[in-house]
Structure 1
């Protein structure tokens, strides 16, 4: 069955323009066009849609209100904004109910590319309800230490953008969200950025402060059976991020590629954080299975019928992460099976190697056993199988210097 997409705008000429722009997709998608929010809600009551693309400024039910209702009633839908302008209050409402914001006039190729990429990622799930764990999430919880540091920052009269940037750059949940906002046109930016630091600086302290006081934007992960797993996942993400960037640097990466490797490392277990945060009761079963001796990855597949990498890649695509980062998140465990490994390039290689080295180090395994955790055939094809020992020693030195 073809994906069904609903486009919403109060101007009939805009809808006619969309029909013309997207004519090439008629064989791929079923497309409906609603003239305003009220008509959109009526169509949603009668049909099951996969994607919503809506304008913001509309009479009656505007885009922000429409997104509120759709996020609540149809969490399985991907939700995109296509709008020329939006007032500040409405924009702040939509940062937790929409996935990306495209400015008008929009490049049809870009719109098609983003929707198609997200739908491909969603197709890896056995059921729409499972994918709804991804599209239904508004924000992910932070570690308790980061939440407390943010609270102190908000209470400080001398808080600076530099202090905020460091927190956003080191916490996976905040890094993913700030990248989403800076790479879309929520605040009139929409320029490609490849690092959370650059994204936070682009948004500025006034925007970041306004976001942080919103309880739906940031929260600390609660106490419970999954708390330790959540904190461990964050700590591992930070270590893998640091080593991924170092490996990319050793391979002569450009600044842009190096930052993508760093980001991919920080978000490599984004799906695990998502599952802990959004399905805590089910993830508690994962913790029990892992305690009984089953690997964490196999336990997640048994409970959720998909790996955490599938969940993480879908969320990263929905939130507009760079394609190479999405691909690295999806295939960091088995890089050799990636059909797009050339597109993912160095970030995929760096994250795969870094995860194996960090995992072995955390388990106290001898350095000469690291290769057993890696796809040496893949590394050989990339011409770096002989670098494993040097990278392992590099991680030891980085840890000693910390």
Structure 2
């Protein structure tokens, strides 16, 4: 079944370019174009679009105004902004309304990869109940502008640690959380680190990237209060799960890129809980109570109350943000790894095991969440005790 995409740009040459670029995927996408916001909204009145891609600077209704209207009229539509990197202030403004930003000039492979990733979300959102839950979430975190700035600096030929540290200090919450991680006992540093520059050097780019995302999301929901639900405990669990996932991937001598993805996915694996608790607090409280009263796994309680789980909800947001599929997959299936297509060691394996071991060793789950059949299917069941031993050492060092 074809999906509908709408390109909006006041430059007809660019509209023709986008159509030409996507000729190779016309079997998957039905392409429409509009030369302005008003025309785009007229088309939306007759057609439901899966994706709207809009230029930022247009006469009349600009891209931000259009995307805001799209959000109100069709919450399920993926919203993408195109703009030149010099429009930093406008980009920051647009990030509160859009799911993803693509820099102009847009490279064909970037555009195709973005649409492929959005299309791939169907694998995570193929359940209508999950789609319904996501559609009811009125307040979703915007894409963090600090993350974009960090990635832009990392993309330079000679990225500067000093500049990245300068970006980090713009966000006091992110700075505090980074200093908390770098001074954790598991890193075994001889002295306390107080400088963001030193912290960036010690924790590495994977942790900096994950913090730019996770600190932003947690700050969006910091006032959420429900009985039996602790923001501080959730953050503590995320941080420790990330440390364990990093250690696991390092022990297995995984590529640095996969180690970083595992760290990011581990920090973000429970963001769906924040989204549900903030947007649907009564039902989320019902799920908490149900799990406690019947002594069942929380994901089972979520499934009964919502018809979906926090894993799918979180994966939806991260997929729309354009994070790598390895990260989205790890978040989506961290409780059900056998549902994933890839049957190899990767971020999903690390997050699944790290999450389960952190709960197990802190006795925060009455039911083991480790999928031993999954570990057997990828030939890693014999590594579990090594991972558990290292997890015990790391978590023991983190105790006050």
Who is 2:58 aligned against? Answer: 58
Matching residue within 292, 307, 310 for 2:309? 307
Q: Say if 1:116 and 1:160 are closer, same or farther in 2 by CA, change over 3 A.
A: closer
Is contact 2:337–2:349 with CA below 8 Å preserved after alignment? yes
Structure 2 distance, partners of 1:234, 1:217, is: 8
Who is 1:73 aligned against? Answer: 73
Structure 1 distance, partners of 2:170, 2:86, is: 25
Q: In the alignment, does 2:353 pair up with 1:350?
A: no
Q: Say if 1:160 and 1:273 are closer, same or farther in 2 by CA, change over 3 A.
A: closer
Structure 2 distance, partners of 1:96, 1:292, is: 39
Structure 2 distance, partners of 1:233, 1:125, is: 27
Is contact 1:139–1:217 with CA below 8 Å preserved after alignment? no
Who is 2:135 aligned against? Answer: 132
1:341 alignment partner, SS class: coil
The structural deviation recorded for 1:220 is: 4.7
Q: Say if 1:162 and 1:15 are closer, same or farther in 2 by CA, change over 3 A.
A: closer
Structure 2 distance, partners of 1:166, 1:357, is: 28
Who is 1:27 aligned against? Answer: 27
The structural deviation recorded for 1:237 is: 1.7
Structure 2 distance, partners of 1:79, 1:336, is: 31
1:91 alignment partner, SS class: helix
| CA displacement, residues 134-184 of structure 1 (integer Å, 9 cap, x when unaligned) | 69613499xxxxxxxxxxxxxxxxx9469665446599xxxxxxxxxxxxx
Q: Say if 1:132 and 1:260 are closer, same or farther in 2 by CA, change over 3 A.
A: same
Q: Say if 1:50 and 1:245 are closer, same or farther in 2 by CA, change over 3 A.
A: same
1:5 alignment partner, SS class: strand
Who is 1:316 aligned against? Answer: 318
The structural deviation recorded for 1:15 is: 0.8
Matching residue within 337, 340, 343 for 1:338? 340
The structural deviation recorded for 1:267 is: 1.4
> RMSD of aligned C-alpha atoms?
3.3
Who is 1:181 aligned against? Answer: none
| CA displacement, residues 281-340 of structure 1 (integer Å, 9 cap, x when unaligned) | 221221221121232101111122122221121111111222211111122222233112
Structure 2 distance, partners of 1:161, 1:239, is: 25
Who is 1:388 aligned against? Answer: 384
Q: In the alignment, does 2:223 pair up with 1:222?
A: yes
Q: In the alignment, does 2:44 pair up with 1:44?
A: yes
Unaligned runs of 5+ in 1: 142-158, 172-192, 204-210
Structure 2 distance, partners of 1:263, 1:93, is: 25
Please give the TM-score of this superposition, normalised by the length of structure 2. Answer: 0.76
Please give the TM-score of this superposition, normalised by the length of structure 1. Answer: 0.76
Structure 1 distance, partners of 2:121, 2:219, is: 26
Is contact 1:139–1:218 with CA below 8 Å preserved after alignment? no
Is contact 2:81–2:101 with CA below 8 Å preserved after alignment? yes
The structural deviation recorded for 1:364 is: 7.3
Structure 2 distance, partners of 1:332, 1:58, is: 42
Is contact 1:233–1:273 with CA below 8 Å preserved after alignment? no
Is contact 1:124–1:310 with CA below 8 Å preserved after alignment? no
Is contact 1:226–1:276 with CA below 8 Å preserved after alignment? no
Structure 2 distance, partners of 1:50, 1:358, is: 38
Is contact 1:168–1:196 with CA below 8 Å preserved after alignment? no
Q: Say if 1:170 and 1:116 are closer, same or farther in 2 by CA, change over 3 A.
A: farther
**Paired positions, count:** 347
